[in-house]
Structure 1
Amino acid sequence: MQKLTALVLTLLIAGCAFPGVYKINVQQGNIVTDEELTALSEGMSRSQVHSVLGTPLMVNPVDLSREYYVYTFQRSGGDIKEQRVIVYYYNEQFSHYEAQLLEETPAY
């Protein structure tokens, strides 16, 4: 009986401390590449910019002269990598952008 109790307790404790917990990759937002950014030209309308880059992740409701394209990636519970692109408009036409891109996009 003692051997059976010891075996059951060992299995229960081993089950609680299982080291192989699977963690998924988490990817969110808009992936924007250098090629897409070079396709933008000054004077494009919002809809033309959206056809190149997609719909922005965030729009400032107070200041419509900017749109934000943010992409985050976390591999298996590790560090979060982030890229940001801010698109600026002047008189409803594309003016310029600021980009902080990842060296490689780890999309899967």
Structure 2
Amino acid sequence: MLEAAATLLVAAALGTAALVLITTGSIRTALPVLLDLLAAAGVIRLASANTWAAVGSAALVVVIRKLTAAGLIHSDDSASAAPLAWLPACLRGLLERLRSREGEACSR
């Protein structure tokens, strides 16, 4: 039962992080969301399987989360100047059109 919940949480983590990335266009915002939910899934797995592999995977996710958070905080702001620059041009254009439509809907 707990293993299924952990698997479901991993799927939700991927979907939620993708949604955050698409809506904000910022990897700095999406990555902590993904890693926090993966850490929660690791803790759930740890509760169901008392193995060293479960302990190691939960600890690894927490370490990665801390390292990326520190890197995101101390990195230069040049990446935030163009948050969608890493996307292919066709997806960038689609997101920009969607954002402009949201602005038009809000101003009506």
TM beyond 0.5: no
Shorter-chain TM-score tier: under 0.3
Higher helix share: 2
The structure that has the greater radius of gyration is 1
Structure 1 length normalisation: TM-score? 0.23
